[in-house]
Structures are given as C-alpha cells and as structure tokens.
C-alpha cells in the first residue's frame, strides 16, 4: 500500500494538468470561427469567460497538487513533500479568495460593461457550492499545515472541517435531487441516474473521510466502522468512474459527434473523471499507508 501512494500522487498531478489543458482549450475555442457563429457574445464577454475558466482550472491544479503533496507527506512521510506542501499553502488560500471574488463580481462587471451575457447569468446554487468547496480546500490545507507545525489554533481546523462537511452534504442533496429528476422511463436513463447518484455519494464521502482523517488522525479508527467507510469509498470511486465512462461511450455511439469542438465536452469530462478517481484512490491509499507506518502493521 505504501508504494501505491507515489503512483496515485503522480497520477493526480498528471490528470490535474490534463484538466487544465482541457480548460485552456475550451477557453480558446470560444474565439474560433465555428463557435463564434453560434454564440452571440462580444469579444470582452468571451475574454472574461475564458479568463475565469482558466483561473478556475489553475485553482483545480493547485488543490490537486496540494492533495498530491499531502498524500506523500502523510503516507510515506516524505519530508520534501511536506516542505513543498508548506510552500503551496503559503499562497494558495489567497489565490482561492481572489478567484472567488472574481466570480462574485462578474455580474457587476457585466452590468457596468453593458454585457448582458455576464450580468444576466448569475451562478447557480450548485456552482456556488462548488466554488466554496475549492476555496474551503485551500483554507483547510492551510489550517492543517499550521496544525502540523504547531502554529495554528485547533479550533480553526475543526471549524473548517465542519464547514467542508456541510458543503459536501449540501452538494450531495443538490446532486441527488438533480440526478433523480432525470429520465427514469428508459434503461439508459435509469442507469444514468443511478450512476450520477453513486458519483454524488462518492464525492460527499471522499470529502467527509478526508477532513475527518486530517482533523482527527487516529489510525485505530480504521479497525471499526470508519475503516469500512474507507473501503466503500474505494468501491464507489471505481464504480462511479466505470459507469460514467461507460455511459459516455454509449452516448457517443448512439449520437456520433459531427463537429470537432463537440469532442471537447466528453474529453473534458473524461479528464475530470480521471482526476477525481486518482484523488480518491490517493486518499484511501494514503490512509492505509499511514496506518501501517504509524502502527507498524
């Protein structure tokens, strides 16, 4: 198990960079002649949306690299990874706050610039939860590093733990309600709903497991129900990935893509699925590796 942590840590970095590349490509595509013919938006609006998408992608990379370093420092106890993690948490929270503020002021910028496409499209509740989750991860990592260095108050990490759990449960409720609002009358539709529900549960479970392990690092808990939860997370992670990838392949077979930029959606989704899977497997492998290292088992 100890040897799998570096493997998943590397996978997280690779797939995070792949997701960023897809975000950049999606941003550049809005300036292509094919896309401009079907999207009625000014050059300023396109540029603003492209820039915010790239910034969001950079935040995803930052959070992923933070997770990769945390896995190496908590599992194999790599001191170099711990130093890199400390440097990451020096600037990542501030960057996350800046990105969050940019999203908040986007409608105002749109109104001031007379851009209805920006002003009249406020973020949905689920998008706000996702943005707050990214911000929460940056702050949570910062608080965790401070506790490791014996420099931060214990209450800050406990508070952020509860905030992350509340965000995860809110996202779970919203995702499940969206999933079960889908088409259940066909076999494909019902399968898709089940796949989305499994993904929602896996995502919420990963967040709760991660923050609980970091806030209360007690390897002995893995011998009981908490260990069963970690095992179920592994099963759900692989099941969700297999179902999402399988349904995407079936959808492509049933409805062949007729334009080059239409390939971006499934490719972007695939990159995010691979990143999610590698992050979840890094989490579970790190937990077990740390238990073996600390207990000598």
Pairwise pLDDT comparison (293 vs 175), residue with the higher score: 175
Q: How much of the chain, in percent, has pLDDT values that exceed 90?
A: 51
- Based on its alpha-carbon atoms, the radius of gyration of the chain, rounded to whole angstroms, reads 20
Check whether 256 has a pLDDT greater than 80: no
Here the tokens at position 46 are 């396109």
pLDDT in tens, 141-177: 999 998 887 776 778 899 999 999 999 999 999 999 9
Q: What CA–CA distance (Å, rounded) separates 181 from 204?
A: 19
Q: Where are the domains of the chain?
A: 4-295
Token look-up 């959070």 returns 63
Residue 296 confidence (pLDDT): 61
For the four alpha carbons of 178, 248, 198 and 124, in that order, the dihedral sign comes to: negative
Q: What CA–CA distance (Å, rounded) separates 117 from 46?
A: 9
Cβ(264)–Cβ(35) below 8 Å: no
The DSSP secondary-structure symbol of 124 reads P
User: pTM of the entire structure?
Assistant: 0.92
Here the tokens at position 93 are 């929270």
Q: At what angle do helices 125-148 and 154-179 cross, to 10 degrees?
A: 150
């Amino acid at each position: 198990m100890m040897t799998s942590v570096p493997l998943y840590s590397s996978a997280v970095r690779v797939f995070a960079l792949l997701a960023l590349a897809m975000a950049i490509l999606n941003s550049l595509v809005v300036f292509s002649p094919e896309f401009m013919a079907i999207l009625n938006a000014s050059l300023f609006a396109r540029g603003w949306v492209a820039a915010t998408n790239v910034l969001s992608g950079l935040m995803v990379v930052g959070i992923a690299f933070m997770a990769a370093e945390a896995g190496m420092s908590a599992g194999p106890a790599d001191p170099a990874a711990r130093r890199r993690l400390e440097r990451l948490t020096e600037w990542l929270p501030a960057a996350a706050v800046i990105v969050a503020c940019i999203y908040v002021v986007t409608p105002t910028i749109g109104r001031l610039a007379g851009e209805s496409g920006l002003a009249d499209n406020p973020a949905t509740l689920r998008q706000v939860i996702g943005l707050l989750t990214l911000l929460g991860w940056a702050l949570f990592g910062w608080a965790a590093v401070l506790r490791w260095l014996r420099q931060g108050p214990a209450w800050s990490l406990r508070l952020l733990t509860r905030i992350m759990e509340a965000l995860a449960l809110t996202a779970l409720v919203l995702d499940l309600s969206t999933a079960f609002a889908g088409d259940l009358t066909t076999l494909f539709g019902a399968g898709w709903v089940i796949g989305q529900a499994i993904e929602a549960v896996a995502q919420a479970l990963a967040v709760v497991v991660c923050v609980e392990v970091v806030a209360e690092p007690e390897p002995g808990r893995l011998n009981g129900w908490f260990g069963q939860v970690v095992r179920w997370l592994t099963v759900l992670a692989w099941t969700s990935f297999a179902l999402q990838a399988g349904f995407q392949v079936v959808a492509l077979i049933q409805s062949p893509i007729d334009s080059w930029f239409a390939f971006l959606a499934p490719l972007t989704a695939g990159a995010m699925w691979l990143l999610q899977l590698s992050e979840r497997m890094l989490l579970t492998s790190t937990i077990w590796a740390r238990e073996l290292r600390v207990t000598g088992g």
